[in-house]
């Protein structure tokens, strides 16, 4: 953790033995901090790795403060790691325009209305089950939930949020969270393109005629754009940040975090990271996509382009197709395209993956109101699904990232 030299401790009991949660401390951020942490991350994956959490230090979010934690058994032996962080949630930014309009009116008289201090369990710049542990998912989530509740009481934070839980995959964890007073809050779906194809031509051949014609039209419209994939892109960080910001400034939903030049520069040092550029004939950049190779999954982390580039040059759809092509050519089984712009992503074959955040408020009375709010005004609308392929393509799930007990690598 940065900004504090204190190492705080809390423990909870499970059955006949206790599990202790301890903040990783300043040593985590140093060069040697990865040794005892990354052994819990599957080989070839990066999502909860020390290097990616260091990269996430460069995002901006109100009250943002990362607190990676370790789990130990009653004998002091490590049994897991988890990403957690503190921040301030702005209820006006959680995706519902009716709430946004009402909140902005109220804030004229009450500037802190619907702003909550939060202890959040999850990766601040990524998605996925938030803990890697030799415990069962039920035991691990119980441990972290009780620790986070104690931390919220100690720090007078209003909320605890445990992110990225798939109810169908971890029903035991869901039952525990309900019993501890958490309420589910459906998150916007993540969109994943399954890729059981050996070539881009095979991908096209499996498309229905309508979507195949759309792909051909996009390629014709954007024929002047040249694709370039860059592995070292720190010097491009100012330009990438500016292009990303053009999208952020136009967005009306999900504006919780801001990417910075430091984020892109730090990502450039990661071996998994690539930037895909679309260059015009004069070599100027029309748009970009930040990609991470994460085991058999390619993660399309973020993008940036101007409104004119999208409308007049077809940049966004060309990027989506080229990301799919890159994934197939590099042997990936799927592309995770993130949570926004459902229509374009589903038009290239993405399927929605539904996950929930689980929220607990220190006030029992407000917990009741929160349950109604998350299931009504804050519930994201369901995406309109497309039938892109002639036959159903099963959704890919990486077995290395299943919510099952794991053994640390030597």
Q: Are residues 21 and 36 in the same domain?
A: yes
For residues 356 and 359, what is the distance between their CA atoms, to the nearest angstrom? 9
- Domain assignment present for residue 386? The answer is no
Q: Are residues 211 and 161 in the same domain?
A: no
- Domain assignment present for residue 215? The answer is yes
Q: Are residues 200 and 179 in the same domain?
A: no
Q: Are residues 269 and 346 in the same domain?
A: yes
User: Tokens 């190779």 belong to which residue?
Assistant: 293
Domain that holds residue 129: 9-187+355-362
For residues 308 and 344, what is the distance between their CA atoms, to the nearest angstrom? 17
Structure tokens at 327: 């994934």
Q: How would you classify the pairing of strands 297-305 and 183-186?
A: unpaired
- pTM here is 0.89
Last residue of a domain, one of 353, 373, 401: 353
118, 159 contact by CB (below 8 A): yes
For the chain, how many structural domains are there in total? Answer: 2
Q: Are residues 327 and 264 in the same domain?
A: yes
- Domain assignment present for residue 178? The answer is yes
CA 264 to chain centre: 16
Q: Are residues 158 and 182 in the same domain?
A: yes
Look at residue 104 in the predicted model and tell me its pLDDT: 74
**272-307: buried (b, 16+ CB within 10 Å) or exposed (e) per residue?**
bbbbbbbbeeeeebbbbbbbbbbbbbbbbbbbbbbe
Residues 6+ apart with CB under 8 A from 35: none
Digits of tens for pLDDT over the chain (410 positions)? Answer: 344 433 445 555 333 348 999 999 899 999 888 999 999 998 889 889 999 999 999 999 989 999 999 999 988 999 999 999 999 987 666 555 666 677 777 777 777 777 889 999 988 877 778 899 999 888 999 999 999 999 999 999 999 999 887 766 677 888 889 999 999 888 888 899 999 999 999 999 999 999 999 999 999 999 999 999 999 999 999 999 999 999 998 876 667 789 999 999 999 999 999 999 999 999 999 999 999 999 999 999 999 999 999 999 999 999 999 999 999 999 999 999 988 888 999 999 999 988 888 999 999 888 877 777 777 666 777 788 889 999 999 888 877 677 778 889 88
CA 341 to chain centre: 15
- Domain assignment present for residue 328? The answer is yes
Helix (H, G, I), strand (E, B) or coil at 35: coil
User: What CATH number is given to the structural domain containing 336?
Assistant: 3.40.630.30
Q: Are residues 33 and 180 in the same domain?
A: yes
Stated as kind and residue range, the H or E segment containing 352 is strand 351-353
For residues 177 and 174, what is the distance between their CA atoms, to the nearest angstrom? 5
Which is nearest to 385 in space by CA: 189, 252, 164, 241?
A: 189
Stated as kind and residue range, the H or E segment containing 9 is strand 9-14
Look at residue 15 in the predicted model and tell me its pLDDT: 35
φ/ψ bin of 349: left (φ > 0), alpha (ψ from -120 to 50), beta (otherwise): left
Look at residue 168 in the predicted model and tell me its pLDDT: 66
- Domain assignment present for residue 170? The answer is yes
Helix (H, G, I), strand (E, B) or coil at 375: helix
Q: Are residues 301 and 182 in the same domain?
A: no
Q: Are residues 158 and 306 in the same domain?
A: no
Look at residue 95 in the predicted model and tell me its pLDDT: 52
Q: Are residues 132 and 265 in the same domain?
A: no
- Domain assignment present for residue 294? The answer is yes
Which is nearest to 219 in space by CA: 282, 313, 310?
A: 313
């Amino acid at each position: 953790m940065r900004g504090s030299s204190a190492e705080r401790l809390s423990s909870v009991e499970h059955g006949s033995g206790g599990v202790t949660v301890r903040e990783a401390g300043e040593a985590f951020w140093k060069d040697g901090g990865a040794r005892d942490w990354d052994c819990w991350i599957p080989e070839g994956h990066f999502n909860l790795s020390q290097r990616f959490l260091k990269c996430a230090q460069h995002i901006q979010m109100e009250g943002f403060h990362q607190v990676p934690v370790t789990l130990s058994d009653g004998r002091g032996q490590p049994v897991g790691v988890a990403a957690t962080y503190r921040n301030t949630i702005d209820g006006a930014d959680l995706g519902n325009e009716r709430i946004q309009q009402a909140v902005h009116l109220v804030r004229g008289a009450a500037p802190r209305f619907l702003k909550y201090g939060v202890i959040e369990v999850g990766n601040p710049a990524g998605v996925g089950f938030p803990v890697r542990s030799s415990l069962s998912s039920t035991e691990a989530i119980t441990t972290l939930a009780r620790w986070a509740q104690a931390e919220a009481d100690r720090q007078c934070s209003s909320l605890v949020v445990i992110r990225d839980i798939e109810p169908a995959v971890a029903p035991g964890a869901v039952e525990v969270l309900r019993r501890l007073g958490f309420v589910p809050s459906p998150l916007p779906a993540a969109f994943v393109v399954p890729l059981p194809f050996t070539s881009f031509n095979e991908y096209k051949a499996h498309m229905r005629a309508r979507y195949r014609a759309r792909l051909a039209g996009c390629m014709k419209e954007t024929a002047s754009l040249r694709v370039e994939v860059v592995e070292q892109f720190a010097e491009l960080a100012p330009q990438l940040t500016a292009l990303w910001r053009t999208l952020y400034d136009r967005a009306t939903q999900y504006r919780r975090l801001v990417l910075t030049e430091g984020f892109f520069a730090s990502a450039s040092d990661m071996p998994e990271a690539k930037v895909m550029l679309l260059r015009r004939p004069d070599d100027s950049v029309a748009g970009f996509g930040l990609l991470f190779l994460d085991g058999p999954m390619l993660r399309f982390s973020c993008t940036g382009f101007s409104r004119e580039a999208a409308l007049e040059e077809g940049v966004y759809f060309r990027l989506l197709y080229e990301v799919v092509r890159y994934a197939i050519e590099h042997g990936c089984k799927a592309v995770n395209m993130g949570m926004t712009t459902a229509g374009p992503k589903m038009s290239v074959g993405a399927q929605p993956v539904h996950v929930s955040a689980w929220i607990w408020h220190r006030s029992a009375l407000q917990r009741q109101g929160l349950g109604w709010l998350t299931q009504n005004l804050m519930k994201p609308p369901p995406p309109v699904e497309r039938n892109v392929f002639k036959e159903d393509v099963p959704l890919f799930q990486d077995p290395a990232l299943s919510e099952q007990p794991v053994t640390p690598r030597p």
